[in-house]
Structures are given as structure tokens and as C-alpha cells.
Amino acid sequence: MRNRYAAVLQECMEAAGIDKAQHEYKPWLIKVLVYKLLLGNKKITGGGAGPRLVKGSKEKLADALVKILERQCVASAVGLLPESERDSLSLPKYARVNTFKTSVAKVCLFLSLSLCLSVSLCVCVPVCACVCLCM
């Protein structure tokens, strides 16, 4: 799994001093918690040493993100992404079709007409089919 904001999160963590304390905790956990706090749902639920560390540095992390946004002259974190990633649609690669309710042909036709996608069929189980979406 790649993280589009990995460099931004790392810079915020360095500015807040969390990156030095990271060796005591799982590094991926700290990065996920910082993402949730700054770019996600803006809150961390649960307890433990990792969440306490990130919650304690909330103001420093937010200030670091604001400084990065000002330095890059963008209004939101989405502006930090490359242009190619900003405009991309977030579509799934596969869609499950319940053949009890509709047919695979109808779903393929709908997807190809409404979303301008090329659609291929991959039948995994007789009752449900998997449609592969290709952009």
C-alpha cells in the first residue's frame, strides 16, 4: 500500500519531534495516527502509548502542516499531490455482481456507457460474477 502523503507526514513528524520517538513504537502505526489526525477524520480514538504521543503533539503537527501548505502556496492537502493524482477518479478495480438481482451483461453495459470504462468479465462463482474495470 502506498501513501500519497508519506513525505508530508514525515516532515510534520520531524517538525513535531515524533520521528525520534518513533523507534519505541511501530513506525507505521505512528504514521497512520498522524494521518488520521491531520488529514483523516481529525481525531484518534483508543488509548495506548502511540496515540498518547500523537495526541500530545497535535498542535505541533498542525502547525507543521500549515507551514508546509503555506510554503507550497496551496489551500489544502490535496494541493500537495501531483496533478495526475489530484484529478484521478477513485474507482474500484473490480465490482461484484449479484446475478440473482441483475445480469452481468446489464452491469457491463451500464458501466461502459455511464462511466466510459472498458469492462471485462471474470466469473469466479456461478452465483456472483466479478467485473474488471479498466480505465
* Residue where a domain terminates, one of 67, 86, 105: 86
- pLDDT tens digits for the chain (135 residues)? 357 788 888 889 888 888 776 567 777 888 889 989 998 888 888 888 888 888 988 999 999 999 988 998 888 887 877 776 666 545 566 677 787 888 877 877 777 777 666 666 554 444 445 555 554
Does some domain include residue 46? yes
Single pTM value for the model: 0.61
Residue the block writes with cell 489551500: 75
Full residue range of the structural domain in which residue 26 is found: 6-86
Q: Are residues 66 and 99 in the same domain?
A: no
Q: Are residues 100 and 121 in the same domain?
A: yes
Q: Are residues 70 and 99 in the same domain?
A: no
Does some domain include residue 1? no
